């Protein structure tokens, strides 16, 4: 059977003992789970003993499916091993482990999965690293914030099907890997403002990003970040222009840090798959309803739209 291996890591400003204590206690998992955020109302059952060998964490939801995680080894403060048993939508069993090492005054935690696929799904092996790895990246970011601050600035509200009015925008187009997205976007925004100022365009609306392409295998995306502009405004030649007519879309609202925007996108994709909704050829996009220069990080509002057929 085709085998796959996924690993992601992050540095946390806390001792290995602290990190081990949090991760090995299933009672903390609902706080930073990268899957439960898509369906907070899913049923979660944790064994009475939550942090010992044999302890279990089970979930059952309409969107997240069903399964169980069980601790197999707890070698504090450096190693945790478990078995994850997926029951729905597809049955499978994999090994999930964590390696925790001391780095300076803090720690680095590695989240790993080792499993296999049925032979007829051999073509998915390369994609598993992208799909599961993206979930692990989101979970590790939330784990880090939870341990370091005691809270997580990320809340997802599923509004469902909506109609988006026609949009026209101009911006700067870029291609980058997911892990470089924040820095590449920051550089693109600087260039965007310079070009708008040079062109004398001051009558612009909300900032937004259009995602033209996602490549989960390569962990890469192509996007245009810019501003909405009225039809009466002439777009500068050195900026990319994008537009769409009014279109049905699946609407997800994210409240909190841009660092966690992946939670909204993952939630939307999960809901589309579960509800068997088909995405259209129109590029998905996100609109920023307020600005980090004027708004506390925890109150930033971003609307994510996934156009539908």
Render each residue's pLDDT in the chain as its tens digit; 309 residues: 678 899 999 999 999 999 999 999 999 999 999 999 999 999 999 999 999 999 999 999 999 999 999 999 999 999 999 999 999 988 889 999 999 999 999 999 999 999 877 665 555 666 667 789 999 999 999 999 999 999 999 999 999 999 999 999 999 999 999 989 999 999 999 999 999 988 888 768 999 999 999 988 788 999 999 999 988 888 888 999 999 999 999 999 999 999 999 999 999 999 999 999 999 999 999 999 999 999 999 999 999 999 999
Three-state DSSP at 99 gives strand
Q: Based on the domain organization, do 270 and 244 belong to the same domain? A: yes
Do residues 190 and 60 share a domain? no
- The continuous run of DSSP H or E covering 177 comes out as strand 167-177
Give me the CATH number covering residue 238. 3.20.80.10
Asked if 53 and 76 touch (Cβ cutoff 8 Å), the reply is no
Contact 145, 213 (CB under 8 A): no
Please state, in angstroms and rounded to a whole number, the distance separating the CA atoms of residues 60 and 45: 9
Q: Which helix (H) or strand (E) holds 306?
A: strand 301-307
Same domain, 165 and 266: yes
Does 128 lie in the same domain as 97? yes
Domain that holds residue 105: 3-151
Number of domain units in the chain = 2
If one counts every other C-beta atom within 10 angstroms of the C-beta of residue 277, the result is 16
> Is-contact 133 8, C-beta < 8 A?
yes
CA distance linking residue 172 with residue 226, whole number of Å = 6
SS3 content of the chain, % helix, strand, coil (to 5): 30, 45, 30
DSSP string, 253-273: EEEE-GGGTHHHHHHHHHHHH
215 and 84 housed in the same domain: no
Q: Which of the listed residues 109, 125, 151 is the one where a domain comes to its end?
A: 151
CATH of the domain at 78: 3.30.530.20
Do 181 and 88 fall into the same domain? no
Are the CB atoms for 225 and 172 separated by under 8 Å? yes
Asked if 270 and 277 count as a contact pair (C-beta separation under 8 A), the reply is no
Is the peptide bond preceding residue 77 cis, with omega within 30 degrees of 0?
Answer: yes
Domain boundary among the residues 128, 151, 174 is at 151
Q: Within this chain, do residues 164 and 143 fall inside the same structural domain, yes or no?
A: no
Whole-structure pTM value: 0.92
């Amino acid at each position: 059977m085709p085998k796959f291996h996924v690993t992601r890591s992050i540095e946390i400003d806390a001792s290995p003992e602290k990190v081990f204590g949090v991760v090995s206690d299933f009672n903390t998992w609902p706080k930073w789970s990268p899957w439960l955020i898509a369906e907070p109302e899913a049923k979660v059952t944790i064994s009475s003993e939550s942090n010992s060998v044999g302890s279990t964490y089970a979930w059952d939801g309409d969107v997240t499916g069903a399964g169980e995680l069980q601790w197999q080894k707890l070698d504090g403060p450096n190693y945790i091993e478990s078995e994850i048993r997926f029951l729905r939508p597809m049955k499978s069993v994999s090994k999930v482990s964590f390696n925790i090492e001391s780095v300076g005054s803090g720690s680095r935690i590695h989240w790993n999965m080792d499993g296999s696929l049925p032979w007829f799904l051999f073509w998915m092996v390369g994609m598993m690293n992208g799909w599961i790895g993206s979930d692990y990246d989101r979970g590790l970011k939330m784990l880090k914030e939870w341990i370091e601050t005691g809270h997580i600035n990320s809340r997802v509200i599923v509004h469902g099907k909506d109609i988006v009015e026609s949009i026209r925008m101009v911006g700067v187009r870029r291609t980058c890997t997911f892990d470089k997205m924040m820095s590449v976007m920051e550089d693109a925004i600087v260039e965007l403002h310079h070009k708008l100022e040079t062109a004398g365009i001051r009558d612009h609306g909300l900032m937004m990003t259009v995602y033209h392409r996602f490549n989960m295998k390569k962990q890469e995306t192509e996007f245009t970040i810019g501003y909405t502009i009225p039809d009466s405004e002439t777009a500068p030649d050195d900026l990319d222009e994008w537009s769409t007519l009014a279109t049905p879309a699946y609407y997800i609202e994210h409240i909190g840090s841009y660092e966690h925007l992946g939670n909204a996108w993952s939630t939307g994709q999960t809901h589309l798959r579960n509800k068997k909704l088909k995405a259209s050829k129109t590029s998905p996009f996100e609109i920023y309803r307020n600005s980090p220069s004027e708004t506390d990080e925890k109150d930033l509002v971003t609307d994510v739209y996934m156009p539908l057929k």
